[in-house]
Amino acid sequence: MAVYTDVAAEDLAEFLKSYGIGELLSYKGIAEGVENSNFLLHTSQGAYILTLYEKRVAEGDLPYFLSLMAHLAERGVSCPQPARNRNGEVTSRLAGRPAAIINFLEGVWPRRPNVAHCAGVGEALARMHLAGRDFPLVRNNPLSVSGWRPLFDLAAARADSVQANLSDLIARELDYLEANWPTDLPVGVIHADLFPDNVFFLGDRLSGLIDFPFSCNDILAYDVAICLNAWCFEPDHSFNVTKARALLNAYRRERPLSAAEEAAMPLLARGAAMRFLLTRLVDFLNVPEGALVRPKDPLEYVRKLRFQQNVASLNDYGITPAGCAA
């Protein structure tokens, strides 16, 4: 989350009149994250999150995200629900941006994920994948492998200013990923951004998944690979095999991975590292002046990419592939 577009109090108070969620008492911008402008609202009826959609989120995609949250909640996945305005719509416009209001979920995201957190997110991700099987809408992933080179083109000229020879590293890896990316793995609804700050816990119990603007239809195991990168590295950049084992085993208990999905996991993890390296690099090089946003370090994902390039199989993540002898 972040704040790129400011909202005046009088404009927000007027905006809320079209919703049945009470009068505005207070609001503040949320600086975490990098994609959209987010505000925590307190009204006379409770707490809510207001999001103004910016940058990579197309207004035409909002029905997918917001309908998906309702669909998942109906099937037992804890996630925010959008508020409807007096016209029955879940999206409006505020400060020249598409806007939506969702209810506030109790819980906090884990600053230092432990093994129980990793198991919780693995289980929740699998249940989300299962719950999304009958979701009727389809949205292709604009940030899958076909979208990575256009992202690189936006940053290539200045990439080496971030790290020496970074441009060459990315170019060679893109060649490899484009030539080897799988096309025959199970596809379905994925979150595509399930980082620790998008998962709430009460203690070690997962209380909800949030922030769905990157959700789409893509390879299910790719979503797992994103989580391996996001949850299983320590602050010193070392890979924690115990956390990876907990995440993968919890996922497999809910939704067993096929042999092909397991074999492809190292490649998918390389791709996941490349996707976030590129978006972070573009954001790092293009922070709008005056924006309340903290760009994330792209070099974190250079290190993760280098690790994943050396992974041979699921054994390197701490588990035995299904069907293999222990």
CATH classification at residue 216? 3.90.1200.10
Residue 203 belongs to some domain of the structure: yes
Please say which residue of 83, 103, 123 terminates a domain: 103
Residue 46 domain boundaries: 9-103
pLDDT in tens, 80-139: 989 989 998 888 999 888 999 998 888 999 999 999 999 999 999 999 999 999 999 999
Residue 34 confidence (pLDDT) above 70: no
Backbone angles phi, psi at 98, to 5 degrees: -60, 140
Q: Report the distance separating Cα 224 and Cα 159, nearest Å.
A: 28
Residue 11 confidence (pLDDT) above 60: yes
Pick 97 or 246 by higher pLDDT: 246
CATH number at residue 85: 3.30.200.20
Residue 293 confidence (pLDDT) above 70: no
Residue 223 confidence (pLDDT) above 70: yes
Residue 292 confidence (pLDDT) above 60: no
Strands (E), the chain: 24-29, 37-43, 46-52, 92-94, 97-103, 187-190, 199-202, 205-209, 216-219
Q: Do 128 and 92 share a structural domain?
A: no
Residue identified by tokens 């497999």 is: 252
Q: In 3D, which of 216, 205, 185 has the Cα closest to residue 121?
A: 205
Residue 326 confidence (pLDDT) above 50: no
The pLDDT value recorded for residue 150 is 97
| pLDDT winner (highest mean) among 28-32, 46-50, 54-58 | 46-50
Whole-prediction pTM: 0.89
Tokens of 230: 């996001």
Strands (E), 125-271: 187-190, 199-202, 205-209, 216-219
Residue 1 belongs to some domain of the structure: no
Please say which residue of 103, 136, 171 terminates a domain: 103
